[in-house]
Amino acid sequence: MQAEIHDRPSFANIRVHLEPGEEIVAEADAMASMSSSIEMKTQWSGGFVNGILKRLFGGESMFVNRFSTPSGGDIVLTQAFPGDIQCLELNGNTMFLQPGAFIACESGVKLGLGWAGLRMFIAREGLFRLKVSGKGRIWFGAYGGIFQREIDSEYIVDTGHLVAYEPTIGIRVAMAGGLFSSFFSGEGLVTRVSGPGRIYMQSRSFDGLAAWTNSHLY
């Protein structure tokens, strides 16, 4: 399977060429266009219960679409909001994705939903997260650009900017500074991540956009 990410970083989309017999799994509604030779099969995302849980808590849809072709063809996948898309190759390891970030994966990848815990809720990252594991490539999207960082000791990320992280990453929610600067610096709470491992961050946050839009409404 050949896959390229085009129009980065603002309006990124994934152009996939499927050889006969290959298939790709994509989030419902991710398909923007495809060859007529490609067949689409819709199925519950990880089973009935898992699908409903993902819809309710994971910010993903209940269904995933499985695209395959007997004769070869192209397909373009995209996400709903402007921003970059990142490809990641799993080699038996696990990755956690923020709700709504998942776009597509190869068929060897397992999708699951995991409880992220109260601390991630406080960090405005959602109570649940998507757990991807297995072997194969996955594509996930973010709002704004995506940048990654290998963490070995400790690093600080503002809440709402974390998109994906490895399970080896420790995460603590903390105040940005002292009591005063936490409240008046506009930073409020931050997440302190500790390594070893890799994190992916988005250069914009939805909360930031919502707050900015709100301030211009009236």
Partner 1 sequence: MQSTYSGGVFSDTLADGRAGGEVELMPAGIAIRCPDGEFFVIPYRECQVEMGGYHGRMLFCRNPDRSLTIYSEDAQFRRDLSLAAAGMLDEQLAMGNRQRRSESRRSLFYAVAFVAATLVVVVAGYFAVRSGAKAAVLALPTSVDAKIGDAAMQSMTLEGPQVEDPVIVDAMQSIVDRLEPQAAVEGFQFKVHVVDSPMVNAFALPGGNIVVYTGLIRSATSAEQVAAVLAHEMAHVTLRHGLQRAGQSLGIWAGMSLLIGDVSGLMGAGVDLFQTASANQYSRQHENEADREGVRMLQAADIDPAAMTQLFAAINKEQGDLPEIFAWISTHPDDASRIAQVEALIQKLPPRDYRPIDVDWAAVQTQLSDLPANQPPGD
Residue 156 binds to partner 1 (criterion: CB under 8 A): no
Instruction: Count residues near partner 1 (CB under 8 A).
Output: 31
Of 59, 72, 112, 170, the residue at the interface with partner 1 (CB under 8 A) is 170
DSSP letter for 19, please.
Answer: P
Residue 90 binds to partner 1 (criterion: CB under 8 A): yes
Label residue 178 exposed, middle or buried (CB < 10 Å: 0-12, 13-18, 19+): exposed
Of 34, 103, 169, 201, the residue at the interface with partner 1 (CB under 8 A) is 169
Between 61 and 93, whose beta carbon lies closer to partner 1? 93
Residues from 184 through 213 that contact partner 1 (CB under 8 A):
194-198
d(CA 212, CA 204): 12
Label residue 47 exposed, middle or buried (CB < 10 Å: 0-12, 13-18, 19+): exposed
Residue 118 binds to partner 1 (criterion: CB under 8 A): yes
Determine if residue 215 is left, alpha or beta; phi over 0 gives left, psi from -120 to 50 gives alpha, anything else beta. alpha
Residue 180 binds to partner 1 (criterion: CB under 8 A): no
Between 76 and 173, whose beta carbon lies closer to partner 1? 173
d(CA 184, CA 187): 8
Minimum CB separation of residue 174 from partner 1 in Å reads: 9
Minimum CB separation of residue 70 from partner 1 in Å reads: 29
Minimum CB separation of residue 38 from partner 1 in Å reads: 29
Residue pointed to by tokens 């399977």: 1
d(CA 171, CA 173): 7
Of 8, 66, 119, 204, the residue at the interface with partner 1 (CB under 8 A) is 119
Label residue 93 exposed, middle or buried (CB < 10 Å: 0-12, 13-18, 19+): middle
Minimum CB separation of residue 197 from partner 1 in Å reads: 8
Q: Which residues bind partner 1 (CB under 8 A)?
A: 89-94, 96, 118-119, 122, 133, 135, 150, 152, 165-173, 194-198, 214, 217-218
